[in-house]
Amino acid sequence: MLIIAGPCVIESEELVLEVATFLRKLAEKYPQFRFVFKASFDKANRSSVKSFRGPGLEEGLRILQKVKEETGLEVTTDVHETWQVKPVAQVVDIIQIPAFLSRQTDLLLEAARSGKPVNVKKGQFLAPWDVKNVVEKLRFGGAVDYYVTERGVCFGYNNLVVDFRSLVIMSSFTKVIFDATHSVQLPGGAGDRSSGQREFVVPLIRAAVAVGCDGIFMETHPDPDRALSDGPNMVPLSWLEGIMENVQRIREAVSSTSTG
C-alpha cells in the first residue's frame, strides 16, 4: 500500500528534509507500507497571483534529488506542462498530474511515454466512470503502471465532498489512491486562497481504508498554520504515527473479515 506524504510545496530545503527524515523513520517502523515523499516545485494553480508558488523546476528537482540521496525514499511531484515531463522523470519515481489537468491529453501522453508510473489526481469535475477515458489515454501512451487519486468532487461553491462509491467504481479499472487532505479543502474558501477542515482528515482516511484503496495521499507540515500553501487542510507531522496505526489496524480488520 502506498503512503504518499509531504508538504504541499517546497518551501525550503530545510523544511523538506525535516519532513522527509520524519517519513523515513515511519517507513522503518511500518515496512509493510511503501512511503513516497511528495512536494511541488511549482503550484501553478494558486488562487491569487501573489501567492507563493515554489522554487521552480531546477531548484525543486535538486532538492527532491537530495531527499532521495539522504533518506532513500522514493519521490513524486507534479508536472503542469509537457516540456517538464522529461527533466522531472529523471529524478522522480512517480509523475503526478494535477487535478485541474487530469484531462489534458498531451500532458497525459507525455507522462505515459516517460516510462515512469503516473498518478493522476481525479478532477473535482469528473464522475468516477469518466476516469476510464483518462486511463485509456495513459494506456494509449504506453503507461503500464498508473494510479488515479480521488480527492473529492465539487458540491456547490467552495466545497468538496467525497463519494466513497467512487473508490469502488474506479478500482474495477485502475489502482486507486485516496487524497485525504485535498478532500477536506474548501477551494477559494478564504477569498484569495483556499481554506479547509483538517479535523475531517482522519475520519476520511479510516473510511477510505475500510472501503478499500491502494494508497493514501496526505499533505503534512511541521506547523500547517504557518505553511505557505494549503495550510488549513494539511495535517501536522505529529499526527502521522497515529494515522499509520489507524491504517494498519483497519487493513488488518478488513483482511480478516474478507478471509472469513
pTM for this entry: 0.95
Note the pLDDT tens digit of each residue in 216-230.
Answer: 999 999 999 999 998
Reported as a pLDDT band with limits 50, 70 and 90, residue 50 is confident
Note the pLDDT tens digit of each residue in 106-126.
Answer: 999 999 999 999 999 999 999
- Mean pLDDT for the chain? 95
**Residue 40 and residue 78: Cα distance in Å, rounded?**
6
Q: Do the Cβ atoms of 118 and 95 come closer than 8 Å?
A: yes
Note the pLDDT tens digit of each residue in 56-104.
Answer: 999 999 999 999 999 999 999 999 999 999 999 999 999 999 999 999 9
| Backbone dihedral region for residue 116 (phi beyond 0: left; psi -120 to 50: alpha; all else: beta) | beta
Helical ranges in the chain per DSSP H: 13-29, 57-71, 82-89, 105-113, 131-140, 165-170, 201-211, 240-258
**Residue 126's pLDDT is what?**
97
Higher pLDDT, 18 or 229: 18
Delineate the domains of the chain, giving CATH numbers in brackets: 2-258 (3.20.20.70)
**Residue 259's pLDDT is what?**
57
Note the pLDDT tens digit of each residue in 235-258.
Answer: 999 999 999 999 999 999 998 876
DSSP state of 232: G
Residue 48: is its pLDDT beyond 90? no
Q: Do the Cβ atoms of 13 and 59 come closer than 8 Å?
A: no
What proportion of the chain, given as a percentage, has pLDDT over 70?
98
Note the pLDDT tens digit of each residue in 27-45.
Answer: 999 999 999 999 999 988 8
Mean pLDDT of 118-138: 97
Mean pLDDT of 145-150: 98
